[in-house]
Amino acid sequence: MIKFMFKCFVLCSVLLFGVLIGMQQANQGMIKMKGYNDPDLQGAFQVENDSGDVAASILGNEVTSQDLEKKQEQLEQIEAFNFFSQIGKQLAGIVSNGVSTILDMVTNWLSGLLE
């Protein structure tokens, strides 16, 4: 099982890396097709080192630790209470209990007929 998970992880990593390389190659092809270097046309994945600070951008969107913290806080607030999720859980419980009750009644009725 561990070998399988390791193989899946390696395969997914290789495929992700291949997608990023393909996007970078497509970007270089677009630059060659245009015939000049357009500063608006950026690479798929860029890492810049500005005076000791490392900044990453994916598809032109800057990725910073503050952005990740804000998104984490938003996810925590969203997961705090979700009205539709609560209704869905209650509906699932009602349906599950109803089906169990109906099955118990049918099995009791069938066992009564077979005796």
Q: Rounded to two decimals, what is the model's pTM?
A: 0.35
Worst-scoring range by mean pLDDT, 9-18, 45-54, 98-107?
45-54
Q: Give domain limits for the chain.
A: 1-39, 44-80, 84-115
Q: What are phi and psi of 43, to 5 degrees?
A: -75, 170
HEC assignment per residue over 10-54: HHHHHHHHHHHHHHHHHHHHHHHHHCCCCCCCCCCEEEEEECCEE
Q: Is the pLDDT of residue 37 over 80?
A: no
The pLDDT of residue 107 is above 80: yes
Is the separation of the CB atoms in 94 and 101 below 8 Å?
Answer: no
Average pLDDT of the residues in 52-74 = 68
58 Cβ contact list (under 8 Å, min separation 6):
44, 45
Residue 90 has pLDDT above 80, yes or no: yes
Length of the chain: 115
User: Which has more confidence, 71 or 53?
Assistant: 71
